[in-house]
Amino acid sequence: MLKLNASKTPIVRGKKVYERVTLETLKSKTVAKIDNLLVSIDTNDINEILKSNMISKTRNGYKLKVGYGNKNEVLNEDFGGYYDSRDGFAPVKDDLTAIANAITSGEFDSSFESLLNSYRERAEKGKEARRLTLVA
């Protein structure tokens, strides 16, 4: 008889606990994504590099766009650009290191603050929309 480790009863979990997004969490998550991309560049695994949503292949090179979250929301227009494939990933690596250092030093806190404000505005609009649908 085949014996599996699976349970026959559904697994029930409680509600996911809300974690407030702060400026420090935005910065640390973005720097962590940059560090992961730098590790992929160091290993020179092109598949791992292109899995990151921060870098994409273009016709004659690569496009770098440093942002936040799964959608890679743009933090600052200065965080990115196009790189020639003939130069390899050295210029990309240098720029990513510079961006990570600038984020850590707090140089772009205003960009992160505006992203946080947009999150708050979206949440307020959602609350208002839910309230209006309950009233109607």
10-47 pLDDT, tens digit each: 888 888 887 888 889 989 999 999 999 999 898 888 88
- Among 73, 64, 71, 70, which residue's Cα sits nearest to residue 112? 73
At 136 the pLDDT is 59
What residue type is assigned to position 12 of the chain?
V
Residues 94-108, mean pLDDT to the nearest whole number: 91
Could you report the per-residue pLDDT of 86-95, keeping only the tens digit for each? Answer: 888 889 999 9
| pLDDT over 70 at 62, yes or no | yes
Calpha distance 97→107 (Å, rounded): 14
Handedness of CA 65, 67, 71, 73 (dihedral sign): negative
Determine the average pLDDT of the residues in 117-130. 88
